[in-house]
Amino acid sequence: MMSTPAHVNSWYAASTGLPPVLPTLTDSVQADVCVIGGGITGCSTALHLAQAGYQVVLLEGQRIGWGASGRSGGQMIFGYACEQANLTRLVGQQDSQQLWEMSLAAMDLTRHLIAQHQIECDLTAGMAHVAIKPRHDRALREWHEELSQHYQYEGLQFWEQTQLRSQLDSSRYLSGLYDPNSGHLHPLKYTLGLAQAAQAAGVRCFEASPVSKVQRGAKPVVVTENGAQVQCSTVVVAGNAYLRHILPEIEYRVMPVGTYIMATEPLGEARANALIRNRMAIADMNFVLDYYRLSADHRLLFGGLVSYSTVPPVNLNHALRKRMLAVFPQLQDVRTDYAWGGNVAITLNRAPHFGRVDSNIYFAHGFSGHGIALTGLAGQLMAEAITGTQERFDVMARIPHHAFLGGRWFRMPVLVLGNLYYRLRDLL
């Protein structure tokens, strides 16, 4: 029997009034749709389907929000990890324009869901991408011009170093691209809020119910490790980095990558605001980037590092503190209260991977670090497709994807070698 699941020891879990563990599925049940995965993607899908009148069962192998949805940096960012110009090369200008508009719709949807369901998740406006090197500065200027002129994205601001320093007390950066429309939130509180809204709409949610296989056919059957079953008409796979080999033909088009975050002790309001005066989120332009923001209780939440083997650094706290002090040397005296990590799913081209297996198994995964807003949209799009409106889902599904080289056993070492070039480039 599976032991009682628990969230990792993160500041997110410690600062959340976690609900009691939901029941484990122990028998056979029927539903219109079975959703596999209790992160933002799965909870959003279940919520939107229930609101459309569908009977939905959601299965989570651990706890709701246990994966990236409850551990991430919490940054709600426009666009995609692969950048808009790359999307245009992949799908053409017309689809690229629609994908851009959907990325903005994803942020609007996030704000709407938070307001509609009164989810207390510390939503805060503002986010900046910042340049460390001259080539970063050039890239930000080109990005600003592209989004402002070709996509008519209003409000985006290019900040020279002096203006950036007026808001961010670090001498590390040359410039910044500030977006007041982006922002950040408490991802675990947001995910739990979506799950509670889904349950209120009639979704039956089960925790500690990992799926072992999906029996395909006109009436799929989803089987858990303890032999319980969900008989349904449609399956939604929202496992992201934790697919567990149930659909290998899509699993090898994403790869789990470890990423890590620390939380300082509370700094006090004055000291916290002196670091980031407008309380925006920040991400630098390195390939292995640093990302950080202030929490509602005035801690610095600082993320960075990456592990393509998913094995955490030997001394995670020390490694993250070293990166934090390179940005904020004035925090030398500050204690670290929490350090944790988890896996995100990346794709080869860093664009999200949407699609169908057969005609009645839908999936969306591989958000490559841009998941806070896009995962909520993914749930809405899959619900639209299942209920008969497939246009927006099909635009996402037209993004081409290829499997990682090396298959199940060798894709990680192959990617490690392939990304060594970019790690070295960050140092130059």
Interacting residues of 161 by C-beta distance below 8 A, sequence separation 6+: 173, 174, 175
Specify the amino acid at residue 296: A
Contact between 57 and 31 (Cβ < 8 Å): yes
> Which pLDDT score is estimated for 316?
94
Distance between CA atoms of residues 240 and 74, nearest Å: 17
- Per the CB < 8 A criterion, the answer to whether 111 and 99 are in contact is no
3-state SS, residue 147: helix
Q: What is the pLDDT of residue 420?
A: 45
pLDDT tens digits, one per residue of 53-63: 999 999 999 99
Q: Is 61 helix (H, G, I), strand (E, B) or coil?
A: coil
Question: Cβ(218)–Cβ(16) under 8 Å?
Answer: no
Confidence label for 412 from pLDDT (cuts 50, 70 and 90): low
pLDDT value at 426 more than 80? no
256-312: pLDDT as tens digits: 999 999 999 999 999 999 999 999 999 999 988 999 999 999 999 999 998 887 888
CA distance to 22, 23, 66, per residue, from 5 (Å): 10, 11, 9
Residue ranges of domains in the chain: 11-71+188-253+350-408, 124-183+255-346
Annotation: CATH topology of 124-183+255-346? D-Amino Acid Oxidase; Chain A, domain 2 (3.30.9)
Q: What does each C-alpha distance from 252 to 255, 411, 417 come to in angstroms? A: 7, 8, 18
Question: What 3-state class would DSSP assign to 158?
Answer: strand
* This prediction's pTM: 0.95
Q: Which CATH class is domain 11-71+188-253+350-408?
A: alpha beta
Sign, Cα dihedral of 157, 161, 162, 167: positive
